[in-house]
Structures are given as structure tokens and as C-alpha cells.
Amino acid sequence: MRLTKFTDYALRVLLLAAARDGTRTTVGMTAEIFGISEAHVKKVVHHLISAGYLSGARGRAGGFELKKDPSDINLGAVIRLCEADFGIFECMAPRGSCLISGVCALPGIGSAARDAFLAVYDKKTLSDILLPASAFDRANPSH
Amino acid sequence: MRLTKFTDYALRVLLLAAARDGTRTTVGMTAEIFGISEAHVKKVVHHLISAGYLSGARGRAGGFELKKDPSDINLGAVIRLCEADFGIFECMAPRGSCLISGVCALPGIGSAARDAFLAVYDKKTLSDILLPASAFDRANPSH
């Protein structure tokens, strides 16, 4: 059981944007810092811009920055936004099919477990996990 | 976020074995009932035999049956047994690498969320979700 890379990267992008506090960040820079593909970062950034978490500008002076205060960015909300499939079991997905799905108690327990999982993130905002800009410095001797 | 098919199938196999209470079930029958591959079912059954949840016999009269009382089969324990990767984030896996993994608070929140998820299953045993043998009958008009 694991969150998708998409969600993982979204949280990293938000942490980086918060650390750079008002200084624009580029997709290329983000990809380099985390050693991940630019294409992935681009999709994540677009998604976070659409959802109002980031503001973005195109062109040479382009890049993205945080649009909301970190204390207004709830981690549970970010996870719900980014996780496409919260099915837990196949039968809980829209196209899921299992012979016993009409009578089985597992989907109910799965929903309760998912809610308990998300409740932990719902109690946290980006401001609870802020890092200094130096944490993202590849030349930082602590890494 | 979803449990693996392996875990999903393991829970189905245990439900079926419990419903057939003392009557041996074959891999082929299980695969047919759930419309899934025999190869997958075989791996799951072997894993559950190794862990002491099922007993199995080879040959023409072969098959598997429940080895423990359903009230002694904790669902949280089954999920922990079957989920190979409980990393939540890449950085929590043994080979995970992320520049900020030494200073980031996300793995701690991920662990707490995973524990909250599992705690819901820990409170349930197979006896809480038992189904009658008729629930697995493809000819049952309720399906």
C-alpha cells in the first residue's frame, strides 16, 4: 500500500515552493533537486495550479510559486486531490467486480480504514512540515 | 491508494475457505468463482499455507481448507502478511531516496496514517465478516 508518485511529488513541490517563499521555482529546477523527470513535475505543477495551490507564469521569467498561505494548505485535501484511486479493494472502484461484492463486509472496513488514514493528514497543514530553503540545496553538507 | 491484488485475493480465499467450513476447496474452483487467474490464486494459497492460515493437500483429492478458527484470524495480521510494500512514500521504502528524506516530516505522518489504517483491521477477525457458502454460488439469483 503506497500513495502514488503523483501525490508524493505534489507534496515535495509544495514543500519546495513554501521553502522558496516568494521566489519563483521552475519545473527544471524541481526535477533536478529531486532527481525525477521534468514531465512528471510538469503534470503535478499544472494540477496544483488548477487547484489553486500554486500560481504559475510562462516564459523566460516563468515558474511557479505558492498561492496560498502554508497554514491554509491542508495535507489531507492535497492527498484527496492527487490520489486518483482510493479504492483500497478492487470492488470499491467504479468498475470493480467481485462475485460477493453485494454481501461482503470488506468494503465497509476498507472505507473506515481509508478514513482513519486520511484523518491523520487532515490534522496537518503545510505549515506543520515546512523546511528551510537550505534543505533543498544539493551542495548542503548535511545530505 | 489501494491494497495489492495479492492481499485482496488472500482475503477472498480466506472468506471462501471459511464459508466451505471443513470442505476442501481447490485453486481451480477459487479462480472460477472470482473470475481471476489460477496462477494468482496458487501463489496466494501457498503463502497462506506457509503462514499457517490454510492447510493443503496435493493430488486428485487435493485442495485447501482453513487451518485456524476464523476468530483467530486477525485481518490486520493478514494484511501485514500480504502487503509487500507498506512504504506510503518512496522515502519509507528500503531503497527510497529523496534529497530531503533526512529532515522531512512526511515519513512520520505517513507512518502514523498507516498505523491508523491498520488499526481498523486489527479490530476485526475473519469471524466478523463470515459469509454463507451460498454467497459464492454463481447460480445464486441474488447476484
pLDDT of residue B143: 42
Cα–chain-centroid distance for residue B30?
14
How close is the nearest chain B Cα to the Cα of A58, in Å?
27
Q: Does residue A111 fall inside a structural domain?
A: yes
Task: Give the mean pLDDT of A7-14.
Answer: 96
pLDDT of residue A57: 81
As a whole-number percent, the residues of chain B with pLDDT over 70 amount to: 92
pLDDT value at B96 more than 80: no
How close is the nearest chain A Cα to the Cα of B78, in Å?
13
Please give the ipTM for the structure prediction. Answer: 0.88
Task: Find the radius of gyration of the CA atoms of chain B.
Answer: 18
C-alpha cell at position A32: 533536478
Burial class (CB in 10 A: 0-12, 13-18, 19+), A61: exposed
Q: Does residue B143 fall inside a structural domain?
A: no
φ, ψ of residue B65 to 5 degrees: the values are -145, 165
Interchain pair B105, A128: CB under 8 A: yes
pLDDT value at A21 more than 60: yes
pLDDT of residue B140: 52
CA torsion through residues B92, B98, B102, B104, sign: negative
Q: Does residue A62 fall inside a structural domain?
A: yes
In this complex, which of B33, B83, B124 lies closest to A1 when CB atoms are compared? B83
DSSP 8-state class, residue B54:
E
Q: Does residue A47 fall inside a structural domain?
A: yes
pLDDT of residue A92: 81
pLDDT of residue B141: 43
* Strand duo A63-66 + B63-66: pairing: unpaired
Interchain pair A3, B89: CB under 8 A: yes
Interchain pair B11, A119: CB under 8 A: no
Task: Give the mean pLDDT of B19-43.
Answer: 94
Lowest mean pLDDT among A95-104, A119-128, B36-45: A95-104
pLDDT of residue A139: 54
Interchain pair A15, B102: CB under 8 A: no
**Calpha distance A4→A7 (Å, rounded):** 5
Question: Which is more confidently placed, A140 or B96?
Answer: B96
The CATH number of the domain where A55 resides is what? 1.10.10.10
pLDDT of residue A142: 45
Q: Does residue A80 fall inside a structural domain?
A: yes
Q: Does residue B140 fall inside a structural domain?
A: no
**Calpha distance B41→B11 (Å, rounded):** 11
Burial class (CB in 10 A: 0-12, 13-18, 19+), A88: buried
- For B112-135, b/e burial (b = at least 16 CB within 10 A) is bbbebbbebbbebbbeebeeeeeb
Q: Using alpha carbons, select from B128, B115, B107 the residue that is nearest to residue B14.
A: B128
In this complex, which of A15, A85, A102 lies closest to B142 when CB atoms are compared? A102
Task: Give the mean pLDDT of B25-52.
Answer: 95
SS (H, E, C) chain A: CECCHHHHHHHHHHHHHHHCCCCCECHHHHHHHHCCCHHHHHHHHHHHHHCCCEEEECCCCCEEEECCCHHHCEHHHHHHHHCCCCCECHHHCCCCCCCCCCCCCHHHHHHHHHHHHHHHHHCCEHHHCCCCHHHHCCCCCCC
Side chain identity at residue B53, one-letter code:
Y
Q: Does residue A109 fall inside a structural domain?
A: yes
pLDDT of residue A133: 94
**Calpha distance B52→A79 (Å, rounded):** 37
| Strand, helix or coil for residue B91 | helix
Task: Give the mean pLDDT of A38-62.
Answer: 91
Range of the domain at B78: 5-135
**Calpha distance B139→B48 (Å, rounded):** 28
- Which of chain B's residues have a Cβ under 8 Å away from the Cβ of A126? none
Domain count, chain B: 1
Interchain pair A88, B112: CB under 8 A: no
Q: Does residue A87 fall inside a structural domain?
A: yes
What confidence category does residue A101 fall into, taking pLDDT thresholds of 50, 70 and 90?
Answer: confident
